[in-house]
Amino acid sequence: MSPPFRAEHIGSLLRPAGLLEARQRFVGSQIDQAALTEAEDRAIAEAVRLQERVGLQLATDGEFRRTSYHSYFYGQLGDISFEAPPDAGSGRGVQPVASIRSRIAWKTPIHAGDFAFLSARTKALPKITIPGPCALHFRGGDATITKHAYRDVDQFWDDVVAAFQNELRALAAVGCTYAQIDETAFAKFGDPDVQASLRARGDEPDALIDKYIDITNRVLADIPGIRIGMHLCRGNRAGQWHAEGSYESVAEKLFNQLAIKFFFLEYDSERAGDFAPLRFVSKGRSIVLGLVSTKTNFLEDKSMLKRRLDEAARYVPLDRLAVSPQCGFASTDAGNPISPEMQEAKLRLVVELARETWGSA
């Protein structure tokens, strides 16, 4: 069975206490890079065992070598950082703002080594996650692009496309066949507050959606041998979220014009709206429903999840659906406010739901 599997997970996992301690000691110059890498290696091996234990057919490295899902990747492309507010518990958080102080340039494979390490330690299908190509622009607009590094926004986009294509081709060259793009822009277009902020900075949301689709399709052109899915995220930082609203305003374009064959959609709360936007999903595309929350420390009722699957199947045939948690468990190394035991229970629940629905995970 090729991805997406009936039971999926988005990528990041709660960092073990020992790994967090090692990273603090590394920052404090108490241990060297070799010692930190050894701690990461041990933690990733245990993360692989966790995923195998619950019955998943894919495996990620939990993103354990990253402090956040995107910071390491973007940091390899230039002098790029994000001004993020401090954690403030659950609820709506403030959208981080990008800072770009150099031209974007891919110099060497970023996650090829991560793939090699992971694939050598699992019999499942290794999945590598990378951030989306449009996030830098989304988190600041043209003003962020031209403030320091660029005079021409089109040059910025050319550099972004080249960097992401080079990375995907490098992954393909080392045998990676499964990648996931974590895109934080598209799902947020349905939020009236986000639309207002985009217009306030001079961007028309509909035109920006078209631009982001074009850029993503340029990234995906002529990438051989990798099945690539896209996770649409509304924000997932230490239990916080950044946007709310239905997929309705973007669904028709995304599910027909974007060169993506399967999407991971967040459907864990009322903030996501109903399943009606799935009516736009064209033939040949499939949907992974993120029905299980990674933000709450309680286990969802399986019978309720089955009812929700039945509701979604009114719009997309059941044979083109799958299930997963709504997002990662730790988009930053601080992690979401749930316990490791609950994390494992939620992953196991996803696998059980898949097996009882489709006969396999």
Phi-psi region of 87 (alpha: psi -120 to 50; beta: other; left: phi over 0): beta
Quote the pLDDT of residue 268.
86
Split at pLDDT 50, 70, 90, the class of 216 is very high
Split at pLDDT 50, 70, 90, the class of 236 is low
| Cβ-proximal residues to 206 (8 Å cutoff; 6+ apart), any chain | none
**What is the pLDDT averaged over residues 209-226?**
95
Lowest mean pLDDT segment, chosen from 30-34, 69-73, 111-115, 287-291: 69-73
What sign for the dihedral angle of Cα 167, 170, 172, 174? negative
pTM to 2 decimals? 0.92
Lowest mean pLDDT segment, chosen from 123-132, 246-255, 276-285, 343-352: 246-255
**Residue range 17-358 in CATH 3.20.20.210:** yes
Q: How far apart are alpha carbons 48 and 183 in whole angstroms?
A: 24
- Does residue 306 or residue 240 have the better pLDDT? 306
Q: Answer whether the bond into residue 4 is a cis peptide, omega within 30°.
A: yes
Q: Where are the domains of the chain?
A: 17-358
Quote the pLDDT of residue 98.
82
